Structure 1
Amino acid sequence: MNGETGLSAFVEPSVILMILAANAAVGVITETNAEKALEELRAYQADVATVLRNGCFSILPATDLVPGDIVEVCVGCKIPADMRMIKMLSDHLRVDQAILTGESCSVEKELDSTIATNAVYQDKTNILFSGTVVVAGRAKAVVVGVGSNTAMGSIRDSMLRTEDEVTPLKKKLDEFGTFLAKVIAGICVLVWIVNIGHFRDPAHGGLLRGAIHYFKIAVALAVAAIPEGLPAVVTTCLALGTKRMARLNAIVRSLPSVETLGCTTVICSDKTGTLTTNMMSVSKICVLQSVNHGPIAAQYSVSGTTYAPEGFIFDSNGIQLEIPAQYHCLLHIAMCSALCNESVIQYNPEKRNYEKIGESTEVALRVLAEKIGLPGFDSMPSALNMLSKHERASYCNRYWENQFKKISVLEFSRDRKMMSALCSRKQMDIMLTKGAPESILSRCTTILCNDDGSTVPLTAAIRAELESRFHSFAGKETLRCLALAWKKMPTGQQALSFHDEKELTFIGLVGMLDPPREEVRNAIASCMTAGIRVIVVTGDNKTTAESVCQKIGAFNHLEDFAGHSYTASEFEQLPALQKTMALQRMSLFTRVEPSHKRILVEALQHQNEVVAMTGDGVNDAPALKKADIGIAMGSGTAVAKSASDMVLADDNFATIIAAVAEGRAIYNNTKQFIRYMISSNIGEVVCIFFAAVLGIPDTLMPVQLLWVNLVTDGLPATAIGFNKQDSDVMKAKPRKVNEAVVSGWLFFRYLVIGAYVGLATIAGFIWWFVYSDSGPKIPYSELMNFDSCSTRETAYPCSIFGDRHPSTVSMTVLVVVEMFNALNNLSENQSLLVIPPWSNLWLVASIVLTILLHMLILYVQPLAVLFSVTPLSWSEWTVVLYLSFPVIIIDEILKFFSRNSGLRFTFRFRRGDLLPKKELRDK
């Protein structure tokens, strides 16, 4: 206003600056996220190494290693560089390579092996990789790579080359913002030009002052048109979504990734631990039942897919065994599983689950011993269930360990493919053996019968029957098989030798697997319904992975997997065109290493797919960072978590599907509150534009517009983010990446609703001057010529045009009409009669709070002065409601047209950044 002096001139800009600063602070605090992946990667580098220098071994910093150095490694050593084996100092050497391959089983290393040039890490059995850990044995090796020339170094370099991708929503909001800025600039210039003729009006005090006055109106128009609260509301809505997702065990590290989930078209999922439990468990048992009428084998199935000692044994007819330990072979299997074993199973009270220490195959045998139980009362389920979880973890195993004293152990070796333990009890010594079925069978001469506990010769017919069952387990069912045997030993023997491992008595055959999670099959079916393709990515072998994929429905009932299942080497050898076609059909990708995962993500993105990639190891970090949304496992490495956008606390694939549904719901809600805010801002533009064109006084001041945009608009817009998820949200196909936030029909609805909001606001302003009992009741023509008031004789003072009452009525109409408009946004197309206001109590509460805040600035004097408003009477409030409510009726009519597509008009715009662009390729 003209004539402002002293501190009063700074009140309005100060309030504007404070509101904008608060808005900026919300965005900065919420979105700040430090990148830690490269720092976490250093934790996997060895600090020291035992190196041959000057003819003797000495401990030196690992950073001093150079190619050609001879290094000695032993159990517990972290490999300091990439090295090639040159000498074995023990019977065998096993290395945990999980950080590189993601596979939990350790790898047996050997000296003389011929390695293919395109072999993956898991197949390079003569190479020790930097950062991996020796779990058994000792050896010497020569350094072949250090720093960036190691497998770990290539992962680090790959992460450095990866740039963060812009999310689809951000792209579209940026495009819409650019378009909006151009439109606003055009309207502002238009308003200034239209009023050139009024520059010399006496009320302005000259041409220059008149130009400045209308420039201020143009600036007010810009303030009205720009949705200042939109960034804060988007950020808050995404943050609210992350809280809901956290309750689903999906912890979001990057806010924009919440929305990206909604348009995901491909999920590349790791097999081990995500689709499976990552807990080896015995699922099949085969023993000799009797030989009375020829060899008859008995086959049992075992329930339970975790390390919990919970599950049952069923016979071939599916009948549960009440007391499994009363069967002779099963009892001996339990004894052998408990004693010929170096692992431990224990209960973790903090995580409320059972955990393993040692090899997963040995832990599976421990759990089997618990499921079989013990002979007599102690093995009855009711008795075992009375134990605490800590006691129950190894109750049966401890029984066998208390009955027998373990004297000597022959460790597993690659050439023998077996392990033996010498145990003693009351002048009876026995040797218990487990190993590869072909190795055990070749050393057995007798076999235990299940029906009477007798020992009979192992004939060719019996051997053939067992080999047939073994090939069935290992082939069609892709189980990892172990055979168990025993032998009575001379009393007093203190040590075992390899020569003792002969003339054994065969006990039985067990088949184990890393079982699929129970909920995964339904989750993958949900993906297919939602138009999302699942590609299983694993370092495991092709046959095993295909079996798992078939069980979980990843092949969608296909019998022939050709064209849908590829190893990394098979895929690399395909011509370019066939690679493109393979990517469109692929359901399984096996024997992969880190570079393959990244290549897969890039290739899919090149085909306009939105890719979500899961992973848990260091090896997964580059692909996680490159993917549109990287998903790390809660049990994964810190590197994977730091490179990811989301972490699955329960490592469960089904959680991803729940998160995708939430992401789609968040996007739908985002569209709703954008619609709400933009339609409100269009109303403000219409109000100021028509006020300028009609030549009436300013209806709203900049500080009032900011209050409406940031405070009164922001609360309901945020509450719209709490709209309930549609029941059919996962039945629709993923939206296209280039789908605009604002479509043609939706933009038309913005214009219609916005036009009414603006006209209602102007109507409230004009009503006070022309019809209100508390107003001057002047003719409308005099209101249009208020600038010339000082040159005419009037029955009212010219100061009436600066009264705060009309702008207060206008501002109140604008606030109330927008509250009614907020109710319209409970659903894009459904009527309020179908989805009533109380379906989102947060929205109702935000509307009530907004009205209370508005009344606060009306009726509390210091605030009323700041915002240039004044209290309203009951009659004025009645007019406000009359002018505001019709917005609901108008939107209900527009929703009716939306629901009935035959009646809906089609509106075409040529704005490429507003409407969805034409697909370049038909997916």
Structure 2
Amino acid sequence: MMGKGGEDYGKQEVSSSKMSAPEVFPAWGREVQECEKHYGVSRRSGLSSSDVEKRRKIYGLNELENHEGPSIWSLILEQFQDTLVRILLVAAVISFVLAWYDGEEGGETEITAFVEPLVIFLILIVNAIVGVWQENNAEKALEALKEIQSEQAAVIRNNKRIPNLPAKELVPGDIVELKVGDKVPADMRVVELISSTLRLEQGSLTGESEAVNKTNKAVPEDADIQGKRCMVFAGTTVVNGNCICLVTQTGMETEIGKVHTQIHVASQSEEDTPLKKKLNEFGEALTMIIGVVCALVWLINVKYFLDWEYVDGWPSNFKFSFEKCTYYFEIAVALAVAAIPEGLPAVITTCLALGTRKMAQKNALVRKLPSVETLGCTTVICSDKTGTLTTNQMAVAKLVAMGSRAGALRHFRVDGTTYSPFDGKIHDWPCGRMDANLQMIAKISAVCNDAGVAQSEHKYVANGMPTEAALKVLVEKMGPPAVDDDRSFSSSGDLLRCCQRWNENDRRIATLEFDRDRKSMGVIVNSHSGKKSLLVKGAVENLLERSNSIQLLDGSVVALGDNSRSLILQALHEMSSDALRCLGFAYKDELPDFATYDGDENHPAHGLLLNPANYSSIERNLTFVGLVGLRDPPRTEVRQAIEDCRAAGIRVMVITGDNKNTAEAICHEIGVFGPNEDIRSKSLTGKEFMELRDQKAYLRQNGGLLFSRAEPRHKQEIVRLLKEDGEVVAMTGDGVNDAPALKLADIGIAMGIAGTEVAKEASDMVLADDNFSTIVAAVGEGRSIYNNMKAFIRFISLHSWSLWSVTDGI
């Protein structure tokens, strides 16, 4: 193990290509200098070649392990572990032997005598082929997990930059450079921010609906995954900024490696479906009854194969007739074969296949046949929030603008749950042209914005940050700018024609990037009149601190007094209480340093823009104009679906990696909790749940439960405890973090649109429309199929027994 200064790395005896790795160093809880010292590396020079070789012997390659799956023969044998299948196999063998024996006795074997055993054999072979195919398909989840790993990395070694080093060659202590669009190759500690802002999309791993701002500052050692803001994780993507990182974990020690292990463990502990359990019970009972009855039939006829000699009317001696004994044994065996419903496996497979067809028509694509009937037995649905209960598309829900006087605000409710500019409207919107204040809000939303919206396959998708895309959709709902010069207006066919018109009227000449300190983004624009102005959007409190005036309805500017400030903060508090993400807007017309600036690199003002430390001073003495509240809105049909679940006796639990307040607000809105229900005992973080003494008792509570900030292991543990308590659990999810729980659940349900390939491969069913209500419809269909199969099993069993009794006189 490496010493504190890093000198002892690799100095131990090496007996294999990979030895046990040292204990995890909590790099997220230590300062950068301490991390560099621990790993014995400098961010400027990186590791030496000898250090790399020593560490590779300890840690191995940076890749996920290949778990050796079961052999094809073990999979085939596994298909005959079912009690009913074994009964049918024995029945088929006995039928074949009897047919052959009868043919030998009669001197000629009729081909029709072999039809029944051959049909049974054929049914069992087809059943085994389907089972082997499904079992073999289950391992694809682990392969899909490998595909999201990065293949190359830009690494600093031996004081040189290697731009395309294979990612599998990384070792702890390596210095890696990340930029926009890069996929993170290992778990790493951020040691230096090159850009002012670093954002990563890690929703697939953590369940967060927004890109996460990263820092190089230490966080508490007991922080959860979401709280490790100075760490970047393998498989996540950089969406903004660039940085220098230090590799801390590789291969199976990364967070994605832990998910890989959890998926593998879950795949090893898969249980029989409810129907299979009942069929096994039915098979065992059938075996016992048939065995007892056939033994009685054979024993009753003992007198016929014992020829007694009588003396004075009393039996004194007997002769054993082997021929008659065999004859009556054949009768008993024939009765046993006749009593077995050999058509049952074929009927079950056919019913399930027809069920998958019906479910596909309702956007539920079944990947494994048994999951059809498992749905019908579901008692608990553990649902992810983002993308399942919500649209996974940010939308503006509320707009607050300035009024006609300093002490007044105007509130507008905004409809719409997607990125479609035509989805919903703004309530109480003024008729005719927008007033000056609303126009300024629209201008800032459109121009101080790097996102876009595109139409793809009959749906609208965001290009760039979801919040910025939502602002552009708001601008389209607000309408075009009220300008006299229409010559620059784009064609009416453009999707974001209002935004484009604003950008044509006010051309951006400089950008003041967002950073975590001032929490705002600004752009300097040049209008048609040649006037320069600064447009800013960001955190409301921060903009208010840097503002000294407000713009009223008619465009006039007045001083920002205490009364106006209090009103704005009150509106902010109300929207934040409703779990809305709030953004404020402000502008500035007086820019003396940039009066003649037009993007020229030789202009003195250009030097100010090169240093982000100057941005705060540029964004001073602003004029505040309004704010908006955004959210990932719930799907409109989810509330009714949850009511249907409750009526059907199915409990709904929400398990999400997202923020607790946001998740609680959504659960109130969709009906998991009542509007005024006290949920303090029903809403826990994943960490709080794991600290409970009696977790099973907590899960038995009536009504809905919410688990927020849940990590993959938390989700898996909740599913495991529910199953141990006798519940039939359906688990929904779309991210890598959901895959272990999807695999462990009685039925895992992945999202078809937003779901990762890892989640889809780990699931039993895929939703084509990512809609929770589709699950409820599929459960109803599953119950119908399950009840129909139970009825048919009773019918075919009674039919076999009735034929048996009629034919043989029993």
Q: Which residue of 2 aligns with 1:238?
A: 352
Q: Secondary structure at the match of 2:294?
A: helix
Kindly provide the CA deviation profile for residues 45-91 of structure 1, in whole angstroms up to 9, marking residues without a partner as x.
22222223222222422222222222222222221111112222221
- Secondary structure of 2:396's counterpart equals strand
Partner of 1:368 in structure 2?
Answer: 474
C-alpha distance 7-506 of structure 1, shift in aligned 2 (>3 A): farther
* CA shift for structure 1 position 375: 5.0
What is the CA–CA distance in structure 1 between the aligned matches of 2:107 and 2:473, rounded to whole Å? Answer: 79
Unaligned residue ranges in structure 2 (runs of 5+) = 1-98, 308-319, 600-605
Residue identity opposite 1:500 in structure 2: I
Letter of the aligned partner of 1:667 in structure 2?
Answer: Y
Residues 416 and 425, structure 2, Cα contact 8 Å, conserved in 1: no
Q: What is aligned with 1:565?
A: 683
Say whether residues 1:180 and 2:294 are aligned partners.
no
Name the counterpart of 2:330.
216
Paired position in structure 2 for 1:589: 707
Q: Report which stretch shifted further, 610-619 or 82-91.
A: 82-91
Cα deviation 1:110-149 (Å, max 9, x = unaligned): 11222241x2211101111111111222222222111111
Residue 511 (structure 1) aligned with residue 664 (structure 2): no
Shift of 1:243: 1.0
Deviation at 1:430, TM superposition (A): 2.3
Q: Distance in 2 between matches of 1:404 and 1:362?
A: 18
Does structure 2 retain, via aligned residues, the 8 Å contact 1:309–1:392? no
Letter in 2 for 1:410: L
Find the aligned partners of 1:134 and 1:219 in 2 and give their Cα distance.
70
Following superposition, the deviation at residue 229 of structure 1 comes to: 0.8
- In structure 1, the residue matched to 2:573 is 471
Aligned 8 A contact 1:546 1:565 in 2: yes
Task: Tell me, yes or no, if the aligned pair for 2:219 and 2:227 is still in contact at 8 Å.
Answer: no
Tell whether the 8 Å contact from 2:395 to 2:631 is kept in structure 1 after alignment: yes
1:302-355 per-position Cα deviation (integer Å, ceiling 9, x unaligned): 11111111245545xxx45444x523222222221111111110111x3x1111
- Give the counterpart of 2:766 among 647, 654, 663: 647
Question: 1:298 is matched with which residue: 410, 428, 433?
Answer: 410
Select which of 49, 52, 56 maps to 2:156.
52
**Unaligned ranges ≥5, structure 1:** 694-923
Task: Pick one of 646, 657, 661 that aligns with 1:528.
Answer: 646
Distance 2:660 2:745 in 1: 24
Aligned partners of 2:219 and 2:229 also within 8 Å? no
Q: Which residue of 2 aligns with 1:165?
A: 271
Counterpart position of 2:537: 434
- Shift of the alpha carbon at 1:466? 1.0
In angstroms, what is the RMSD of aligned CA positions? Answer: 2.5
CA distance in 2, matches of 1:27, 1:334: 63
1:223 aligned counterpart, secondary structure: helix
Give secondary structure in 2 for the equivalent of 1:531.
coil
Are residues 3 and 77 of structure 1, via their aligned partners in 2, closer, same or farther at CA, if it must alter by over 3 Å?
Answer: closer
1:630-662 CA-partner distances (Å, limit 9, x unpaired): 111112011101111111111111111111111
1:302 and 1:311 in contact (8 A); partners too: no
Give the letter aligned to residue 216 of structure 1: E
Matches within 5 A, 1:541-552: 541-552=659-670
Query: 1:281·1:513 contact (CA, 8 Å) conserved in 2?
Result: yes
Whole-angstrom CA distance in 1 between matches of 2:321 and 2:264: 60
The whole-number CA distance in structure 1 between the counterparts of 2:661 and 2:720 is: 26
Matched residue type, 1:522? Q
Give 1:276-291 correspondences, 5 Å limit.
276-291=390-405
Are residues 581 and 4 of structure 1, via their aligned partners in 2, closer, same or farther at CA, if it must alter by over 3 Å? Answer: closer
The aligned residue for residue 335 of structure 1 is 443
Between the two proteins, the alignment pairs up a number of residues equal to 668
How big is each residue's C-alpha offset from its partner over 1:525-568, in whole Å with a ceiling of 9 and x where there is no partner?
11111111111111122111111111111113453111111112
- Mapping for residues 492-507 of structure 1, pairs under 5 Å: 492-493=596-597, 494=599, 495=606, 496=609, 498=615, 499-507=617-625
Matches within 5 A, 1:388-787: 391=493, 393-426=495-528, 427-450=530-553, 452-475=554-577, 477-488=578-589, 489=591, 490-493=594-597, 494=599, 495=606, 496=609, 498=615, 499-574=617-692, 576-577=693-694, 580-581=697-698, 584=701, 587-634=705-752, 635-690=754-809
Q: CA offset at residue 186 of structure 1?
A: 2.1
Q: Which amino acid aligns with 2:641?
A: A
Cα distance in 2, alignment partners of residues 3 and 265 from structure 1: 54
1:361-411: per-residue Cα shift (whole Å, max 9, x none)? 001101101111115799xxxx99x96xxx353122222223232211111
Q: Where is the helix percentage greater, Structure 1 or Structure 2?
A: 1
Aligned partner of residue 546 in structure 1, secondary structure: helix
Give the residue type in structure 1 aligned to 2:570.
S
- Separation (CA, whole Å) in 1 of partners of 2:249 and 2:166: 16
How far is 1:599 from its partner?
1.0
The letter for the 1-side match of 2:585 is: L
Query: Which residue identity does 1:577 align to in structure 2?
Result: D
Displacement of 1:17 after TM fit? 4.0
> What letter is aligned with 2:338?
A
Change in CA separation of 1:377 and 1:251 when aligned onto 2, cut-off 3 Å: farther
User: Helix, strand or coil for the counterpart of 1:113?
Assistant: coil
Whether the aligned pair in 2 keeps the contact of 1:224 and 1:685 (CA below 8 Å) is yes
- How far apart are 1:190 and its partner, in Å? 2.2
Question: Could you tell me which amino acid in structure 2 is paired with residue 228 of structure 1?
Answer: E
Which structure has the larger Rg?
Answer: 1
- Displacement of 1:446: 2.3
Q: Which residue of 1 aligns with 2:45?
A: none
State the shift of 1:491 in Å. Answer: 4.1
Contact 1:191 1:689 in 2 (8 A): no
Distance 1:245 1:440 in 2: 51
**Percent of residue pairs bearing the same amino acid type:** 47
Using the TM superposition, give the Cα deviation of residue 276 of structure 1 relative to its aligned residue in structure 2, in angstroms: 0.8
1:346 aligned partner, one-letter code = A
Residue 108 of structure 1 deviates from its aligned partner by 1.0
| Match of residue 68 from structure 1 | 173
Q: Can you list the C-alpha shifts for 1:828-858, whole angstroms capped at 9, x where unaligned? A: xxxxxxxxxxxxxxxxxxxxxxxxxxxxxxx
For the structure 1 residues 3 and 160, does the alpha-carbon distance in structure 2 shift closer, same or farther, using more than 3 Å as the test? Answer: closer
Moved more, 130-139 or 270-279: 130-139
| Rounded Cα–Cα distance in structure 1 between residues aligned with 2:441 and 2:127 | 62
CA contact 1:339–1:401 (8 Å) conserved in 2: yes
Distance in 2, matches of 1:462 and 1:514, equals 29
TM-score by length of 2: 0.79
SS at match of 1:275: coil
**Aligned-partner SS, 1:9:** coil
Is 1:407–1:421's contact at 8 Å kept on the other side of the alignment? yes
- Measured in 1, the distance between the counterparts of 2:401 and 2:728 equals 50
Question: What is the alpha-carbon distance in structure 1 between the residues aligned to residue 795 and residue 238 of structure 2?
Answer: 60
**3-state SS of paired residue (2:403):** strand
Instruction: Quote the Cα distance in structure 1 between the aligned partners of 2:524 and 2:110.
Output: 91
Instruction: Report the secondary structure of 1:257's partner residue.
Output: helix
CA contact (8 A) 1:370 1:394 kept: yes
Hey, what's the Cα distance between the residues in 2 that align with 1:517 and 1:541? 18
| Cα deviations by residue, 1:285-313 (Å, 9 ceiling, x for unpaired) | 1111111xx51111111111111112455
Larger displacement relative to structure 2 (518-527 or 130-139): 130-139
Alpha-carbon separation, structure 1, partners of 2:213 and 2:434: 38
- Distance in 1 (CA, whole Å) between partners of 2:629 and 2:229 is 25
Helix, strand or coil for the counterpart of 1:559? coil
- 1:414-447, CA deviations, whole angstroms, 9 ceiling, x for partnerless residues? 1111111122232122221110001111222222
**Letter aligned with residue 536 of structure 1:** V
Q: Answer whether contact 1:631 1:647 (CA < 8 A) is retained.
A: yes
The equivalent of 2:47 in structure 1 is: none
Report the secondary structure of 1:326's partner residue: coil
